[in-house]
Amino acid sequence: MLDLSNEVRKALATNQPLVALESTLIAHGFPYPENYNLALELESLLREQGVVPATIGVLGGRLKVGLTTEEIHYIAQAGNIRKASLRDLPLMVALGLDGGTTVATTMQVAHWAGIKVFVTGGIGGVHRHAEDTFDISADLQALANYNVLVVCAGAKSVLDLPKTLEVLESQGTPVLGYQTDNFPAFYVRDSGLKVDYRIDEISQIINAFKIKEQLGITGGMVVSTPIPVEDELDGDRFNAWLDTILTEVEEKGVHGKDVTPYILGRLHEISCGETVQANRALIKNNLNLGAQLAKAYSAGGN
Ligand code: PSU
Ligand code: MN
């Protein structure tokens, strides 16, 4: 059921550095054609650094590791691609469906394929008012279970970040800050919360990850890095947009897997594209860190 591209298969066999990328971001995170252009740009930025990209998605019920340009284009423009979260994969395979993989399922498939580093924008987490809605992203379940380094600009600032960090702590997921003490909040650099460990050296992150593997501790690690200063959004303006949208979510009864895409889409509209620009910038920044981590991992880490 796992379809590895030739490039990915060869990279795994010859211990070349690989970075996994998700496809929900392409299907639901950005509008077309920005999504398509960004997905290809991320792949070529990795290749320039000597890292093999493995964009993951589900097509015709096959778990694809290393989508082709044509497949990425299909997912980018189809418009009705399902969001493939943890509970969806067996059904999608059985029914031969197409799906964009979330952080959760991209981690799961990367783990099955043996890819150790995954770059995304921001992880999902505990939503605001989760005490009423119980809306907690399956991304946290995946972080508890799959042995993958997840490089991100923190968790989406639309979430309840203190609660998200509490759940990560309860389930034993280390949260690292690369060259920062602060847990980043996606569009803004500082959430006001601290990471467990500030780590300044790539090799130290890889060592910790390998030690975790040797000890047989399941689960991933969050490696966070803030959006670059020049791309950061103003926190007060952002919060005002978000308050408006969260009111809409409640009034319109948006729920379940539609919440995150709804919020991201409306942010794009209300901000006149500013959030999309910031999102693009932070992913590219995360990508550079992920490329370095992948190279250090395949080089042995010391
Ligand atoms: N962050 C973004 N854009 C996205 C997502 C996160 O900037 O599209 C996606 C990721 O795929 C993440 C998912 O795994 O949203 C979380 O959705 P939910 O909260 O429904 O678990
Ligand atoms: Mn949810």
Global confidence as pTM: 0.96
Secondary structure element (H or E) that encloses residue 242, with its range = helix 235-252
**pLDDT (tens digit, 9 = 90+) per residue, 20-70?**
999 999 999 899 999 999 999 999 999 999 999 999 999 999 999 999 999
Q: Which of 125, 88, 121, 86 is nearest to 105 (CA)?
A: 86
d(CA 185, CA 160): 10
Q: Which of 101, 16, 107 is nearest to 67 (CA)?
A: 101
* CA 43 centroid distance within chain: 15
d(CA 224, CA 227): 10
Residue with the smallest CA separation from ligand 1 atom 11 is: 102
From ligand 2's centre to the CA of 119, what distance in Å?
20
Using DSSP, state whether 282 is helix, strand or coil. Answer: helix
- Is the predicted pLDDT of residue 2 greater than 70, yes or no? yes
What does each C-alpha distance from 185 to 14, 87, 238, 242, 277 come to in angstroms? Answer: 37, 27, 11, 13, 16
Q: Would strands 52-59 and 18-21 be described as parallel, antiparallel, or unpaired?
A: parallel
107 backbone φψ class: left, alpha, beta (φ>0; ψ -120 to 50): alpha
**pLDDT (tens digit, 9 = 90+) per residue, 80-124?**
899 999 999 999 999 999 999 999 999 999 999 999 999 999 999
Q: Which atom of ligand 1 is nearest to the CA of 104?
A: 14
The dihedral over CA atoms of 189, 190, 194, 196, expressed in degrees to the nearest 10, equals: -10
**pLDDT (tens digit, 9 = 90+) per residue, 153-194?**
999 878 999 999 999 999 999 999 999 999 999 999 999 999
d(CA 299, CA 302): 8
Q: What is the pLDDT of residue 158?
A: 86
* Backbone angles phi and psi of 112, in degrees to 5: -60, -35
Q: What is the pLDDT of residue 214?
A: 95
In the numeric block, the tokens 């190279």 are attached to 295
Q: Which of 257, 295, 248 is nearest to 99 (CA)?
A: 257
- Is the predicted pLDDT of residue 301 greater than 60, yes or no? no
Among 24, 146, 276, which is best to mutate for testing ligand 1, by the most ligand atoms less than 8 A from CB?
A: 24
d(CA 18, CA 68): 16
What does each C-alpha distance from 184 to 178, 267, 283 come to in angstroms? Answer: 10, 19, 13
Q: What is the pLDDT of residue 1?
A: 87
Active-site residue, selected from the candidate residues 64, 83, 116, 156: 156
Q: Which atom of ligand 1 is nearest to the CA of 264?
A: 3
Secondary structure element (H or E) that encloses residue 192, with its range = strand 188-194
What does each C-alpha distance from 10 to 18, 115, 252, 298 come to in angstroms? Answer: 11, 13, 48, 14
Q: What is the pLDDT of residue 157?
A: 79
Secondary structure element (H or E) that encloses residue 59, with its range = strand 52-59
pLDDT band at 225 (very low <50, low <70, confident <90, very high): very high
**pLDDT (tens digit, 9 = 90+) per residue, 246-291?**
999 999 999 998 998 999 999 999 999 999 999 999 999 999 999 9
Q: What is the mean pLDDT of residues 74-82?
A: 95
User: Near ion ligand 2, which residues have CB within 5 Å?
Assistant: 135
Structural domains of the chain in order of their starting residue, each with its CATH number = 2-298 (3.40.1790.10)
CA dihedral for 258, 263, 269, 275, sign (positive or negative): negative
* Backbone angles phi and psi of 273, in degrees to 5: 90, -5
Q: What is the pLDDT of residue 302?
A: 43
